[in-house]
Every structure is written in C-alpha cells, then in structure tokens.
Structure 1
Amino acid sequence: MDENSAHPFSNNDGAVEISRTLREVPPGDYLFQIKLFSLLSKAEEKRFESSDFESGGYKWKLCLYPNGYEKENGKGHISLYLAILEADTLPFGWEVNVKFELFVYDHMRDKYLTLQ
C-alpha cells in the first residue's frame, strides 16, 4: 500500500473515501475561544484576529469576521480565515499545502459544526 493513498468504499449512504497519509510533521492544534459572540457581532470592528501560533514550522493566525467578509460575498455569514504570517521571509515562489479543520461549537444547540 502507498504511504499516501485514498480508498473508496460504500455504505448505505453512498460512496465514502478514506485517506491515509504518513507524515513527518506532527499535527498542530489551536483553540480560538469566543466567550460572547453576540458582543463581537454588534461591535464596530469588522475583523478580529487570534494570537499568533505556530504549526508545521510556520506562524499563523485566525482572522474572524463575525458579520462576514464582504469582499468575498460573506455578508450574512461568519467568515473565518487561516492566515500565514511572515510570508515575506519565505523564498520566491514558495508554497505551503495545508489541510485544516475548523470545529465550531454552537452552545445554543449543543452541537459542533466541522468545516474542512
């Protein structure tokens, strides 16, 4: 079996694909917790940023637009972006491939929304 592969299988709901990947860099995680989201959505500021964090040897931050990022047709939605920091220090033509998941906990419904 290849180190990196995908194998489809089916169940009652239809086809599902399982990916298998071996990697040298351990996965990272970061918790960006908002205690009172309703206050953010009413604030005059349109953008909020997390503290800087490191994962995979790079520095990152999360950028939150509680009322959507209007330039990307996000109005009426919550927009959350993963931004790499210090990009100007990376070599010309650099590329970083990232697979990330966002887990958003809705305390009113006691459910998690997962975005990948």
Structure 2
Amino acid sequence: MEKLPKLQEFTPPEGYFETLPDEILKKTAQKPSFPYLKYAAAALLFVTLGWWQLGNLDQSTQQLSLEEEALLYIESNQWTAEDVLSLSENPNEILDMIIMEEFGQQDPLWAEEDNWF
C-alpha cells in the first residue's frame, strides 16, 4: 500500500453547495405542457383501432360450409384424416369419393363374367 500514489484532497469550488439548489431548480423548471395532447393521442388511437375493426367485421362474419371448416381443421393439423373419417357415418363412401377424384374412372382389370378360376 505504500507504493500507491497519494490522492489529493478534493475540495469543491467556492460557493458550490450554496448555489446547487438553485441550479437544480432551474433545470427542473416547468416546461410548457399540453395536457390535452395525450388525451387527443389516446382518442386517435381508439378511433383508428375501431375503424380498423369495423373494416374487418365483414370478413370475420363470413360463414364457412361444413366442408370448408373441416378442411381448415385438417390444414391446421388439428385433425387428421382418421379423425375426419371417424366422424363420418359411412367412411368407405368418403374413401371411394377421394379415390375417384384422385385417380378418375378406370376400367376394371377384368370383367365379372371372365372368371378364369
């Protein structure tokens, strides 16, 4: 510790503490305020949000068909194909319809009359 340099004693400028309160009060003096400005900004925000919501109101009330709603559930991965088939009264009919849409009408490989066995 003997090798550390000695610090000079700090002395404030003359009259510093006497003028300090006045200096602080000058810096915190009342600035002109506009109390109506914050209310106007809040009102503008509410009007804008309300107008935006009214513009979206027509889109949100659109009714979806049962098929469109089911497709939305499937595409959002909330339902699987098995879930949809389990809700159906006749799942084989739905599967046949899907096969017809995907592959179209195909000729049978052999006629029923041509039993070779």
Class of the TM-score when normalised by the shorter of the 2 chains: under 0.3
Which structure's residues are more often helix, by fraction?
A: 2
TM-score, reference length from structure 1: 0.13
Higher relative contact order (CA 8 A, sep 6+): 1
Larger Rg: 1 or 2? Answer: 2
Which structure's residues are more often strand, by fraction?
A: 1
